Structure 1
Amino acid sequence: MRGFLLFLLLVVCVNAGLFDNFGEKIKTALSKIKTTLNKSNLIKIREKIHALKNKIVAKLTLTPEQKAALAERLKKLVNIKKDHVNPKGDSIEEINDKTHIGDLLYQGDMVLTPQQADELVAEEEGRPKRQAFRDRRYPQTLWSSGVAYFFHPNATPEVKSVFKKGAAWWMKDTCIDFFESAQAKDRIRVFKEDGCWSYVGRLGNEQDLSLGSGCESIGTAAHEIGHALGMFHTHSRHDRDSFITLNSQNIKPDWLDQFKKETTATNENYGITYDYGSIMHYGAQSATMNKKPTMVPHDTNYIETLGSPFISFYELLMMNKHYGCLDKCKSTPNKCKMGGFPHPRDCSKCICPRGYGGQFCDQKPDTCGSILQASATYKTLEDLVGDRNAGGQPREDYHTCTYWIVAPEGKKVEVKFVNFSKGIAVDGCVYGGVEIKTHPDPRMTGYRFCAPEDAGKTLVSSSNLVPIITYNRIYATQTVLQYRFV
């Protein structure tokens, strides 16, 4: 039966004219699909999006002014030798590209329903039907009674563990509950199919989420759960061109239509700004055909931050707004500092931006690290985080340390990057790195670095406090910084 259905889908491919080079990739991907074949309309949906390629590509064309600005930003980028840690791929896009499953999915890891695909086509043709990461069925697409999930028999212990931890990341700082149940009416079936992918939002009844080989990390699980909760990709926001530039000459031709951008009519972000450290953002070299950046941040110091393995503060705020969690603390005065907000599970406490902690976000988080006083001359911060006795395989959990560098009132902090361990320079610094929070907005993800080639880079804060966060989940990494007040 599966072979017959595969044959029918291949006939659709031929009739749709898909068997150019792109079609051959589709054929390869189809041959790998097992448990989802009877449930998906992947070929028809992918063909609909692919048919829009010329329109989408036309919108990616840069003006002369944009080309000039991009050229100037590219000059600022440090030439970093990228490492490869996981042979299956170091990002969702890489993993799904190697299995070819990404060629069937929307933007590489999303399975759309026929209705969602029709809405995307309508958007591109100027007939918007969708708003925010909502659709016409909102709020029915919310998991208003909590998120039920269960594990398929092929889910390995690693898949089960990272999914539960990824769900815990979302549950900890929102009002969204997750619980294991194979009997709940609406539920997610978690399994180990080829690749990392999910449906978007609650569909009703049973829906799938795959954490295939190479996808067994908490960050990857949290990303796919983000889709299941209703989020699309950050780099498809309607305002992305104000924050990143797509360098289309570096994008694989078959992937150009995957960089479709939302419109103001279909993408309401609750007034929340673009965050380069979003877990829903792909890395700078996603879909590259020449190992050069496909997405260049306008603030080039963020180039290594794209593709983050952590849920950003602004994403938590957006998810809390989307699910109405903030209403739980409407009558509670907001005493939170640094842009934090009352916790919907305990309004007397705050959800704090990364690098800040305590009940009201006015203390250093309770991790390793210390408070350092800056002087007029350079001091050195040397940090070793991780486990030197561990093997070369990545751990599930991160070892994290937080430092506060404090200057006298009225002064700023200057931080100079001196050195970082070799071997884990990948998009998003997903295995380890250092985050330096000199941005004027304390809620914004800091600049992350994970390559020794960054030596000499200097950042200056806008206040007298700079949180420094070091993190690692493979072996151990050393960070060396110098700092002073200016």
Structure 2
Amino acid sequence: MKSLLLLSSLLGLAISDSLPMDEFQAKMKELNDQISSSLISNTDEKAFVDEKISEIEANKTKVESTDGSPIVDDDAGYTGPYAKEFYEGDILLTKEQLSSIVSNPHSKRQAQWTFNYPNNIWKGAPISYYFDRNFPSNKIPSVRAAIKFWESHTCVRFQENGGGRARVRFINGNGCYAMIGKTGGEQVISIGYGCDWIGTIAHEIEHTLGVWHTQARYDRGNYVSINAWNVLPNQLYNFNTQAQSYTNLFGIPYEFGSVMHYAENDFARDRSRSTIVAKNGYERFQHSMSNYLPTFYDIKLINTYYKCYDACPRKFNCQNGGMQDVNNCNRCKCPPGFSGTYCESISTSGCDRYYTIGSTPVTISATAGSNGLYNINYNECALHLKPATKGRRLEVTVTTGAGMSSWNCYGAGVDVRVHSDPAMSGIRICRPNTRFPAIYSDTDRMVLNLFSRINYVSFTFSARMI
């Protein structure tokens, strides 16, 4: 494994507090031993995880193909965007951060909140960045698109080829990684092989803005368990957690579909089995962890952390999960399928539609995207379902489908939003030729949000009030 010092030398980084290889490895081993001791030795957790893994395996047998073709686990050879050389797979730590984490393994936080705040965030001026001379030109549009994404949804601003000592250099390194928060000097974001998706780049930029991974939150034990017995050797430190006393979650709920959440089998010995297991009551989100693009709540976290909402002189409440548009304070930004100044309206333009669902099952079909589509953002289609009787819930089953199929929904799929808050990402289904078990709403509303950026995806659903 390369040392941070060697990496600094090879990449020309201005990191003055890097550690020699032997010291870095020693600290990682120390942290790994601490995490291993707390996880592996927990026999109650082992029993719970084993039971849940058995349930997951049993549920796989209930998934049926609608066209007679076999169900293939096309994730078998995927290794994920994370590297073994870095903390949590894609975080390049400073000497101070590493020493702090090893001496207090629960000192991280969802959004970096240290005695240095607000000096550890990028405030007061655009974030200066530039591309390393060896950075591939074909990746530059994706980086600029990810930057534009954050600028269009937050008050954070960037300046290409800007001046100043504190700046970001995009490099073509060994994988995808970044530093946490503003370090004060030049720091890097690596967009290596397989990293040039807008969502992956946006993920690394969010690290640079000061945000750690979702599944490292101190409250993750309420939502997931770690299958430590399927984690790669010496990689358990990647599943460290936070202490509440060092944490500021800013009221952001735990979201399985956050772009900052690990996928369910990251760092797995056997990728056909999960390393992250959803707790009781959350099993339906087992296969909906991680995301291609930042979610509404990923965006809200940055806007809150950077006090973007403070710039709006008149505050107002948005409806249907919307949030005040920090780039146009006179209106709200709305979740897919909602519109109006305050997100008060259900959009029925394009393929967006509204259905009142009774007790008799009805068939609903929709398509997002088109043949030949290849885009960095999604084409979307929102289907709004309400029961005919207020207060009743909804049951939806995917019956047939066609088009783009991707194991991780990064190309296309449907996000079944079952929460009372329609801004929360829901249950994602990625294979349109597959019949899944019925999905139930939490309240008397459900949004079926079809999305595609590669070709098209079509789904037919059976829906009824229960």
TM category, shorter: 0.7 to 0.9
Query: Of residues 317, 336, 343 in structure 1, which corresponds to 2:300?
Result: 317
Residue of structure 1 in register with 2:341 after alignment? 359
Residue of structure 1 in register with 2:224 after alignment? 244
| Alpha carbons 2:36, 2:236 under 8 Å: kept | yes
Residue 227 of structure 1 deviates from its aligned partner by 0.5
Residue 63 of structure 1 deviates from its aligned partner by 4.2
Compared CA separation, residues 377 and 279, structure 1 to 2 (3 A): same
Residue of structure 2 in register with 1:21 after alignment? none
| Alpha carbons 2:171, 2:189 under 8 Å: kept | yes
Deviation digits for residues 133-153 of structure 1 (CA, Å, limit 9, x no counterpart): 223321111110222211222
SS at match of 1:226: helix
Residue of structure 2 in register with 1:389 after alignment? 372
| Alpha carbons 2:432, 2:457 under 8 Å: kept | no
SS at match of 1:150: strand
| Alpha carbons 1:83, 1:424 under 8 Å: kept | no
Count of matched residue positions in the alignment of Structure 1 and Structure 2 = 444
Cα distance in 2, alignment partners of residues 267 and 42 from structure 1: 29
Deviation digits for residues 217-267 of structure 1 (CA, Å, limit 9, x no counterpart): 110010000001001111111111111110111111121122111111222
Q: Which runs of 5+ in 2 are unaligned?
A: 61-70
What code does the residue aligned with 2:397 have? K
Cα distance in 1, alignment partners of residues 421 and 268 from structure 2: 31
Runs of at least 4 residues off by over 4 Å: 29-33, 36-40, 62-65, 128-132, 420-423
What code does the residue aligned with 1:345 have? N
User: Does 2:354 match 1:371?
Assistant: yes
Cα distance in 2, alignment partners of residues 441 and 287 from structure 1: 31
Query: Of residues 289, 308, 331 in structure 1, which corresponds to 2:291?
Result: 308
Residue of structure 1 in register with 2:415 after alignment? 435
Cα distance in 2, alignment partners of residues 471 and 452 from structure 1: 12
SS at match of 1:121: helix
Residue 106 of structure 1 deviates from its aligned partner by 0.7
Query: Of residues 40, 46, 52 in structure 2, which corresponds to 1:61?
Result: 40
Residue of structure 2 in register with 1:340 after alignment? 322
Compared CA separation, residues 421 and 55, structure 1 to 2 (3 A): farther
SS at match of 2:345: coil
The residue correspondences of 1:79-158 to structure 2 (distance < 5 A) are 79=60, 81-84=72-75, 89=78, 91-93=80-82, 102-124=83-105, 132-144=111-123, 145-158=125-138
| Alpha carbons 1:277, 1:307 under 8 Å: kept | yes
Cα distance in 2, alignment partners of residues 453 and 289 from structure 1: 29
Residue 297 of structure 1 deviates from its aligned partner by 1.7
Query: Of residues 183, 188, 192 in structure 1, which corresponds to 2:163?
Result: 183
| Alpha carbons 2:146, 2:202 under 8 Å: kept | yes
Residue 344 of structure 1 deviates from its aligned partner by 2.1
Cα distance in 1, alignment partners of residues 454 and 140 from structure 2: 20
The residue correspondences of 1:406-485 to structure 2 (distance < 5 A) are 406-410=386-390, 411-421=392-402, 424-427=405-408, 429-451=409-431, 455-485=435-465
Query: Of residues 278, 285, 288 in structure 1, which corresponds to 2:265?
Result: 285
Compared CA separation, residues 310 and 354, structure 1 to 2 (3 A): farther
User: Does 2:19 match 1:41?
Assistant: yes
Residue of structure 1 in register with 2:309 after alignment? 326
| Alpha carbons 1:354, 1:445 under 8 Å: kept | no
What code does the residue aligned with 1:92 have? P
Compared CA separation, residues 174 and 389, structure 1 to 2 (3 A): closer
Residue 169 of structure 1 deviates from its aligned partner by 1.9
SS at match of 1:387: strand
Residue 459 of structure 1 deviates from its aligned partner by 1.7
| Alpha carbons 1:334, 1:341 under 8 Å: kept | no
What code does the residue aligned with 1:232 have? W
Cα distance in 1, alignment partners of residues 210 and 336 from structure 2: 23
Compared CA separation, residues 421 and 261, structure 1 to 2 (3 A): farther
| Alpha carbons 1:123, 1:266 under 8 Å: kept | no
SS at match of 1:214: coil
Compared CA separation, residues 333 and 479, structure 1 to 2 (3 A): same
SS at match of 2:419: coil
Compared CA separation, residues 160 and 324, structure 1 to 2 (3 A): same
Residue 424 of structure 1 deviates from its aligned partner by 3.8
TM-score, length basis structure 2: 0.86
Residue of structure 2 in register with 1:12 after alignment? none
Cα distance in 1, alignment partners of residues 24 and 350 from structure 2: 47
From the two aligned structures, give the one with the greater helix fraction. 1
Task: Point out the more displaced range, 159-168 or 244-253.
Answer: 159-168
